[in-house]
Chains A and B, each alone.
Chain A
Amino acid sequence: METDLMALVGVWCAATLRSATPLIFVTLGESLGQRTGIINLGAEGEMLVGALAGFAVATQTDSASLGLLAGALAGGVLSLVHSALVLAARANQIASGLAVMIIGIGLTSYIGRAFVGKKVSSLDNLLPSGGEALAFFGPFLQQTTLAGPLAIAAAAFISWWINNTRSGLHWRSTGESAEVTLSNGINPIRIRFYAITVGGLLAGLGGAILSVDYTQTWAQEMTKGRGLIAVGLVIVAGWRPALVLPVCLFFGFTEAAVFKLQAMGITFSSHLLSTMPYVTVILVLIFAHLRARKSSQMPNDLKAVFQ
């Protein structure tokens, strides 16, 4: 009985982590950008481009990991548009992000038509078979791929890096005041460029994990606003990469729960159930704002674009 319960917990944890993994990467990337004072609504488009590129490469090469690499690169390349508009042409960040998002949606539905209906094989599970004896870890590892632990490691690393290194300090100070940062001989434009690019790479990677490793299909606009949700979750996490992890896992849990409910044959409108993530993000935003009242952790330079 007890082992059954542990197994069930293992399955739920695996499902939660798998559905949260793409979101963790995107949200980490977005939080890095926002820490340097850049908001990027284009994360949605970068994620889509990453999902398609990853899926395409994975079907052609039969290698999921190559697919993930391609996805990350594609996201990084699209993010150059945001960099060019925001840093070189000093365009409004929100408008620029939406332009990137529209380009991403257009490009992927243009190219993606050829890939609808194809299948890929995901990353290998961490534990191929056997191991049922391990109460919790057996079921958990059987349904987990390398992507999940990688996401956790990425969150841990980024969180350490931004708080304990010279470059991390430079990034934080850029987000607080580009002017003061410049007066200290550090080029904030270069740092913001790095941050947007890393954000694009992570969004692309998240998208690729979504299409290659998680759903294993390609569909038009399959990210369904995850890139936009990520922007909201950064606020909920209070711009701290360490908190991105629990926030995204909570999100993954609600998504996994919706799937499990549907699988259990709940006769409730699937469309209404699908509104869950969006309703959830608004509710957690309300909760976070009620708690903090005024978001004092917000990087100071971000306040100018984004109150």
Chain B
Amino acid sequence: MKAWISSVGAPTALTCAAFTLVTAVFFISIGQPAIKTIADMMVFAVGDSYSLSETLVKTIPIMMCALATAIPGRLGLISVGAEGQLHVGAIFGTAVMLVLPESFGLLGLCLVLVAAAIGGTLFGFIPGVLRVRLGINETITTLVMNYIGVLFVSALVYGPWRDPANQGWPATKSFPEDLILPFFFGTRVHAGLVIAIGIAVLLHLQFHRGTWSRQIKVLSGNRKVGETFGLNYAFTALLLMCLGGAVAGLAGIFEASAIQGRLQPGLSAGFGLTGFLVAWLSRHEPLMIVPVSFLVAGLISAGDALQLFAKIPAASSTILQGLLFATALAVPGLIKRYRGRYGN
């Protein structure tokens, strides 16, 4: 037992076990049969091709938001701004869609994506510049700016961008087909999945090989020493904040164009915060983010299905996310205490 608990995999395994236990307790406390509900959730998450495709659909924005968090996270910055960046990315991308003439083809799609990335970059740049120039904590600014991003979308779709054809429904006109990423096999899973995984692989290489990865390691370990040896913390921090914003911005336009078909309120079901959770669970490792975001997406789509079939409110999946986060934070610390008490 003692030897096992010191092994590397112990925290992960124990976290999973503890979370299953916590989930069971939660279901019992809301008067549901715990084991059956947990089994149902697994079926609803990945049980058939439809469930699997719905889980994958949710995996895309979660993975992108998690990557958006992990990029500045490598430098020790705690950005929780993916939600706002996602919304502003969607705004910028939609703006391009609105001004482009019909049938612009692949170039149009690229323009939309680039614009979305720029929008997200902007919302990463602001907290980044406040951090490096004035030392304002990025966690607070990004959290607060999330509300601003969401309200900007509402202001536009209730205001100048509302399409009269919608009969009062607050939404823009629909994205034309050639500005939407291609779908796989007639499902709602779109090419964003490939892009997200591609970004994860690219980031993995960047963060583990080469001079730049070492520079980031040094700067995140000791900023002053990094600067002593000619590294530029401010520039690196700003760059990573912007890059993170760009990735979240892409997630926004994916949702608006491929999933919802237009810009409207309710663009994101809390993907920003979920992405933060995933990034934290994955310890900001891009390749870990890929499977973890899939698992958490499964949790959410199972929650949606439970509402439909078992009349359990979908908010239960939010609670479970919170409990998962709490468990993942508690278990390693408690293991460390245990180890400390019984000597290595």
Contacts and interface: CB of A to CB of B under 8 A. Distances in A.
Direct contact of A and B (CB under 8 A): yes
Interface of A: 41, 81, 84-85, 88-92, 94-96, 98-107, 109-110, 113, 224-225, 228-229, 231-232, 235, 269, 271-272, 274-275, 278-279, 281-282, 285-286, 289-290, 294-295, 306-307
Contacts, number: 139
B27 interface: no
A110 B135 contact: no
B175 interface: no
A228 B140 contact: yes
A96 B333 CA distance: 12
B326 A99 contact: yes
B330 A84 contact: yes
Interface stretch (B199-207, B212-220, B310-318): B310-318
A109 B313 contact: yes
Contact of B147 (A41, A275, A289): A275
Contact of B323 (A92, A103, A229): A103
Contacts of B280: 95
B3 interface: no
A278 B139 contact: no
Given A98-B273, A232-B144, A275-B151, A89 B329 contact: yes
Contacts of B333: 85, 88-91
B277 interface: yes
Contact of A285 (B136, B155, B326, B329): B136
Contacts of B323: 103
B241 interface: no
A99 B139 contact: no
Interface of B: 78, 80, 130, 134-137, 139-141, 143-148, 151-152, 154-155, 158-159, 273, 276-277, 280, 313, 315-323, 325-326, 329-334, 336-337
**Which of B136, B144, B280 neighbours the largest number of chain A CB atoms within 10 Å of its CB?**
B144
Given A225-B143, A286-B130, A271 B155 contact: yes
A285 B141 contact: yes
Contacts of B134: 286, 289-290
B303 to A, nearest CB: 10
Contacts of A98: 80, 273, 276-277, 325
B264 to A, nearest CB: 13
Contacts of B144: 225, 228-229, 232, 278, 281-282
Given A110-B313, A269-B158, A41 B322 contact: no
